[in-house]
Amino acid sequence: MQVPEQEIRALYQRYAHVVHYRARQILGSEEEAADAVQETFARVIRNYDSFRQESSPLTWMYRITTNYCLNRLRDRRGHARKHENHREELGGDGLTRVDFGAELDAKTLRQLVAGADEETRAILLHLYFDDMTREEAAKQVGISVPTLRKRLDAFFKVARRSFGVELAASLLLFWVLR
Amino acid sequence: MRINDGSRPSTLRIARHQTGEQSLGSDELAKAASTLSALEAEKGRVPPFDWTLLTAAAHRVEEPRPRPSAPVRRWLWGLIPAMAMLLALVILRVPEGPNRSKGDVDLGFYLLRNGVVLPGDPDGPVQAGDRVQFTTHAGSHDRLVLLSMDGRGQLTVFYPETGEQPEAVIPGETHVLPGSIRLDDAPGPEIFVAFYGVDSVREAKERALWAWKEEGIAGLRELADEDPDVAILVLARR
């Protein structure tokens, strides 16, 4: 079908900065945020017929951006593991040996998110980057709140051992379960 | 960052307000002020609208694979018995290689050679300078000790990197272990043994050394044959 340029331009002016802001927060990179905007609007154009039926275009774009960002984080981790990490580096600031500080910062979060399974990645992203409540995050992912709690519980249990810093992970767990 | 307990609107709700999709209440607006101004400032960072670029990107977007129609599905159902027989034949005929995969546990690898990552072939020779990165499937276990014995009987523990606590792994999932190891030019094959579910590094080392002392590589193979929670990978050097 013919997609009208003017309508896409109007959507871009209205929503692109939100997509950019969110992707930049999640990925921590201006360049990748720009890619996320391009990818999201490419999909808007590609699926314009169904997109027009959406009651909340932004929620639809959020879903696209979520998938895009999660894939980038996963690829980033996989790339680092396959090509860059050396045994000698693992004791330093490698992706899998995170030195948590007292604060859970965005960098640490990205590492946590990248290390989780697909569903838990989405949960962590919605809770921490989108500042959603547990109820909102569970709804976005399509699971119940108790299931969300279980997923996080299991994830942090493993993360606590993997990351080796009991205190910070316990703190995380406390935040999640309180 | 602290999980939102419902006392403030999420970023999505704030963004929907800012783009005119919905309205926040006055008390919520007060809590959303900093995010609203950050979103406003973001407008200056967005790449300019480029119709040519976007339409070109849209053409590259992969379409989801179409689902097979009902007649095709019915046709596939008819193939199932034949496929099952074929699978049974393949299972019966596949020779046992050095990559031990039994029960629920598994140990595999990728190889980085001359800058190219290759799927690990347990039958293919490796050479000094190759980098090996392991994949594991821990079955129902949540911990692992992975060690190596070289042709001289030198034992090295790779996972965990330090300490006595085994490496934590997620049960039931296949993982690429972090980091890689560079193979040296020690004589003989490189033998990697994964002990799943052991309580300590010491336990794994003792079992590996005992098996090695008894019969060398054959002893380690026997150990892996007898214990469903031990996997072995024997890589021959070129």
**Six-digit token string for A68:** 């895009």
Q: What is the mean pLDDT of residues B9-36?
A: 93
Flag whether the pTM goes above 0.80: no
A73 to chain B, closest Cα gap in Å: 15
Contact A17 B46 (CB under 8 A): yes
Reference A60, options A72, A71, A48, A70; nearest CA is: A48
Better-predicted residue by pLDDT, B202 or B110? B202
The pLDDT assigned to B232 comes to 92
Measured between beta carbons, the chain A residues lying within 8 angstroms of B46 are 16-17, 20, 34, 37
DSSP helix/strand/coil, B5: coil
Contact A131 B180 (CB under 8 A): no
The pLDDT assigned to B120 comes to 79
Mean pLDDT of chain B: 80
Q: Does residue B4 carry a pLDDT above 70?
A: yes
Mutate to test the interface with A, among B31, B170, B177, B184 (most CBs of A within 10 A): B170
ipTM of the predicted assembly exceeds 0.90 = no
Q: In terms of C-beta density within 10 A (0-12 exposed, 13-18 middle, 19 or more buried), how is residue B233 classed?
A: buried
**Six-digit token string for B166:** 């085994």
Window from A1-5, A47-51, B39-43 with minimum mean pLDDT? A1-5
d(CA A132, CA A122): 12
| Residue B99 banded pLDDT, cuts 50, 70, 90 | very low
Phi, psi (degrees; rounded to nearest 5) at A88: -65, -25
d(CA A104, CA B121): 41
Contact B11 A130 (CB under 8 A): yes
Strand-strand pairing, B167-168 and B143-149? antiparallel
DSSP helix/strand/coil, B103: coil
d(CA A124, CA A126): 6
Phi, psi (degrees; rounded to nearest 5) at A150: -65, -45
The pLDDT assigned to B62 comes to 58
Write out pLDDT tens, residues B128-185.
888 888 888 888 888 999 998 877 778 888 888 878 889 888 888 777 787 778 887 7
Q: What is the mean pLDDT of residues B51-60?
A: 88
Q: What is the mean pLDDT of residues B198-220?
A: 89
The partner residue sitting opposite A17, judged by closest CB among B39, B176, B181, is B39
Window from A118-122, A127-131, B7-11, B73-77 with minimum mean pLDDT? B73-77
The pLDDT assigned to B142 comes to 87
Contact A45 B58 (CB under 8 A): yes
d(CA A27, CA A106): 9
Q: Does residue B66 carry a pLDDT above 60?
A: no
Q: What is the mean pLDDT of residues A86-102?
A: 30
The contacts of residue B162 (CB under 8 Å, 6+ apart) are: A91
Q: What is the mean pLDDT of residues B224-235?
A: 90
Contact A58 B61 (CB under 8 A): no
Residue B169's closest chain A neighbor by CA? A158
Residue A61's closest chain B neighbor by CA? B12
The pLDDT assigned to B101 comes to 44
d(CA B235, CA B134): 12
